[in-house]
Structure 1
Amino acid sequence: FFHWDYLNESVRTRAPQRANQVGVFVVRVNDAGRAAEISAAIDAEFGNSAAETLTETEQAFQIGFVKQTEAIVIAIRIVSFVVIFIILAVMANTMAMTARERRAEYATLKALGFGPGFLGSLIFGESLAIALIGSALGVALTFPVAHWFGAKMGTLFPVFAVSASTVWLQAACAVVVGIAAAVIPALRAARVRIVDGLRAVG
């Protein structure tokens, strides 16, 4: 909250047409059960006047405000999916380069009797380990960042917390990225012929 007189004085110098006006009144009621009744009484008092009111609970007001920012939320979701796709591309490229550099090692393992399934498990394990380590760092940073964001938003988002479902979703995305990034390198490693792989050593 802030002192209205000080704000009005500042508005009077910057935008005189908006001075001496109030956009929102906060009314406290002793009995929350009478909130609807009191809201209707306030609206009836100012009905058909030059300054009609729309009285609602603070929760309803915040929900309405959030709905107005739905486009921003959709944009954030789109950006999130784009970021996940970029991370997937980087992971896939990293695993592909790793598999290419270890082609001779895979051929040697095949010569020793290890099958394609074992090679695939190595690649999938490495990819999942990298993805989960990154996810753990992301989850660890999520809580302080969310706390900082909630503190900066103040009364705009009075309740801003990271739910358990969000953490599980982060972990699930990491697993999906780790598996998807390792599919093609694992298939290529499984198809490496011993002769071709050992030839790369020389």
Structure 2
Amino acid sequence: MYLLRLISRNALRHKLRTALTILGLVVATLSFGLLQTVVDAWYSGAEGASATTLVTRNATSLVFPLPLSYQERVRAVDGVSGVGYANWFGGIYQEPKNFFAQFAISGKSYLDIYPDYLLPEAERSAFLRDRKGAIVGRKLAMQYGFKVGDIIPLRGTIFPGQWEFVVRGIYDGRQSTTNTATMFFHWDYINEVVKRSIPRRANQVGVYVVQIAHAEDAAAVSGAIDAQFRNSLAETLTETEKAFQLGFVSMSEAIVVAIRVVSFVVIVIIMAVMANTMAMSARERLAEYATLKVLGFGPGYLAALIFGESMLLALAGAALGILLLFPVAATFAAAMGTMFPVFQVSPLTVLLQLLSAVAVGLVAGIAPTLRAARVNIVEGLRSIG
């Protein structure tokens, strides 16, 4: 108890220095946590992917479509329990800055593959009955104020023209990591219009979403699907939904790596600042350490004093940084809108913040501890006064 009291008094001996050191630790811990959360948000789609869902796309590139006629052939493959399809729409709502994901889907067959999209049965039925119907995620609805019955106008880019969709339902996520920032509507409606305006682009889909019964069959089923269309005009590439999502992440991998590097550089910088603070404190207390040695206190006791003070400052700064991370992350997510459909602080991020603080405290205490342990009693006592 006496040791703890002495450690706390030493830490508060220079209140301004202590306050500034803790402030630096708060900023570093907060920045580290926020950057790690951004990285987690980047990978959220892949992490939330189902192990029993495959995605079949054109083997040449995702921008090339697949014929609608492939659907029944995919469904006939052993191990396949469901098939849906989807097209990226890419429409503009009011102005280009209002970006959010929009997909034209196969209706019931698509929704059956994604049970994590929770939609009241009445709203689901209303959506399936209405060719111009649409469903939107809760996060998207909150951002733009969409309500059931509203008409959402979109200016087509991939599919030119002015389009209008009626909100027939608002879906929630079964889990907190479920994407609720997407708009879905009927592929049949888009296809009907395309048949009249651009016939050559009709009856084509972007990707097939394939449900399988057992995750361990993913490789075999993928190979069987692709084998059916080998040497055709539109060869396919089938992969797990997670691999498909990671393909998008890899396009911006340099950015993700840069964010990770910056987050750890922040910790290294505050480690250097903390080490300097502890070195200054130890230099000022050489006489005290010499006196303690005269009184019979060994190097272990001096190490406990120094490491205790260093850990106290590090953990105090980390605790405040962690507490601030949650409201800051929520504010950041609100400001980003649908750019990050899932943005939440993970337990692993909090653990990394604590471990980083412990590492800072330990490293910062090494040099002053060695100096205090090696201090010559005579030389130390001469510095008194």
Q: CA 1:25 to 1:77, structure 2 compared with 1: closer, same or farther past 3 Å?
A: closer
> What value does the CA root-mean-square deviation take over the aligned residues?
3.2
1:62: Cα distance to partner? 6.3
Q: CA 1:27 to 1:50, structure 2 compared with 1: closer, same or farther past 3 Å?
A: closer
Tell me, in whole angstroms, the C-alpha distance in 1 between the residues paired with 2:271 and 2:328. Answer: 23
Higher strand share: 2
Q: Which amino acid is the alignment partner of residue 206 of structure 2?
A: L
Aligned to 1:30: 108
State the secondary structure of the residue aligned to 2:206.
coil
State the secondary structure of the residue aligned to 1:158.
coil
Tell me, in whole angstroms, the C-alpha distance in 2 between the residues paired with 1:86 and 1:76. Answer: 15
Tell me, in whole angstroms, the C-alpha distance in 1 between the residues paired with 2:381 and 2:208. Answer: 75
Tell me, in whole angstroms, the C-alpha distance in 1 between the residues paired with 2:113 and 2:297. Answer: 74
The match for 1:116 among 299, 302, 320 is 299
Tell me, in whole angstroms, the C-alpha distance in 2 between the residues paired with 1:188 and 1:5. Answer: 65
Tell me, in whole angstroms, the C-alpha distance in 2 between the residues paired with 1:98 and 1:26. Answer: 61
Aligned to 2:207: 55
The match for 2:329 among 128, 146, 150 is 146
**Structure 1 residue runs of 4 or more that deviate by more than 6 Å after TM superposition:** 59-62
**Identical aligned residues as a percent:** 56
Matches within 5 A, 1:1-202: 4=92, 6-7=94-95, 25-28=102-105, 29-31=107-109, 32-33=111-112, 49=200, 54-55=206-207, 64-202=247-385
1:163: Cα distance to partner? 0.8
Tell me, in whole angstroms, the C-alpha distance in 1 between the residues paired with 2:272 and 2:313. Answer: 14
TM-score (normalizing by structure 1): 0.75
Q: CA 1:25 to 1:81, structure 2 compared with 1: closer, same or farther past 3 Å?
A: closer
State the secondary structure of the residue aligned to 1:26.
strand
Q: CA 1:6 to 1:156, structure 2 compared with 1: closer, same or farther past 3 Å?
A: closer
Q: Which amino acid is the alignment partner of residue 194 of structure 1?
A: I
Tell me, in whole angstroms, the C-alpha distance in 1 between the residues paired with 2:256 and 2:314. Answer: 26
Q: Which amino acid is the alignment partner of residue 26 of structure 1?
A: F
Q: CA 1:4 to 1:201, structure 2 compared with 1: closer, same or farther past 3 Å?
A: closer
Tell me, in whole angstroms, the C-alpha distance in 1 between the residues paired with 2:344 and 2:292. Answer: 49
Gaps of 5+ in 1: 11-23, 36-40
1:50: Cα distance to partner? 5.9
TM-score (normalizing by structure 2): 0.41
Q: Which amino acid is the alignment partner of residue 192 of structure 1?
A: V
Gaps of 5+ in 2: 1-90, 115-186, 195-199, 210-240
1:70: Cα distance to partner? 2.0
1:165: Cα distance to partner? 1.2
